[in-house]
Structure 1
C-alpha cells in the first residue's frame, strides 16, 4: 500500500473526547480516494459510489500526524475499487481500514462512463512518454 497524504490532527478535528472525529477522518479518506481516482483515470469527474464497512482500530489525538494509504483492488469498466488504511505516521499504528471504496468515472453527461484503464499508471511515466 502506498501512503500518499499526511494530515496533522488539529484542535478543530477533534470530537468531545479530544480524539480525532471519525467524520473528519472519513472526509479526508473520501477526498484522498477521489484525488487518487482523478489522477489514475485522468478525469476530474468522479464520484464515490460505495464505502464498505469501516473498522476504527485506534484513535488519534491533537498533534498526531496521520497518513492515508490507498491501494487499487480492481479496475472496472467505469469504476475503480480501492482499499484504504490510515495509520499514525510516528507509531505506524493502524487507525482505520476501509476494505472497499468504489469510485465511478463520469462522462460529460454526468452518467457512468467507461474509462479504458486496466492498470495503475504513474504520472512520471505519462510525462516521460510525451
Structure 2
C-alpha cells in the first residue's frame, strides 16, 4: 500500500454550473477522471492507459461559482497491469467534503487495447518515468 498523494485544485467557474447554480456533477467527474488519468500516466510511465473501473461515486455536498476545490488523489496499489487510486474532493475554503471515490482503476494497454504489464510497484513524485 502506497502513501503517495497528489492534490489538484480547481476553481468553479460560471461555465461549470448547472441550472441551479451549482457545479455539474458530470463536470466534477470529468475533472476527477482527467486528473486521475494524468496521475496514472506519470506513475506508469506511459500515455497508453485507460480508465477501467470507478467505484461507487458518493456526492456528499455541492459547490457553487467561485468555490475552490481540492481533488486529493492517493495511490492505493499497483497491480501487474493496473494502478488503483482513490479520490476525495473537498471545498478548500470551508473544508466541506464534496465527493469520494474509493477506487479508480487504470490499466496500461497496448495498441490493440489489451492490458499489458507496466513493471512499476512503487509511486514516484516526479515525471521521470515518462522520459525512460
TM-score scaled by structure 1?
0.91
1:24 is aligned to 27
User: Separation in 2 of the partners of 1:115 and 1:3?
Assistant: 21
User: Separation in 1 of the partners of 2:97 and 2:73?
Assistant: 13
TM-score scaled by structure 2?
0.89
2:110 pairs with 1:100: no
Q: Any conservation in 1 of the 2:83–2:105 contact (CA below 8 Å)? A: yes
- How many residues in Structure 1 have an aligned counterpart in Structure 2? 127
Higher RCO (CA-CA < 8 Å; seq separation 6+): 2
Moved over 3 A (4+): none
Q: 1:4: how far off? A: 2.3
Structure 2: gaps spanning 5 or more residues = none
Q: For the aligned residues, what is the CA RMSD?
A: 1.8
Structure 1: gaps spanning 5 or more residues = none
Q: 1:88: how far off? A: 0.7
Deviations 1:76-111, CA, capped at 9 Å, x for gaps: 110001100011111121100001111011124432
Q: 1:3: how far off? A: 4.2
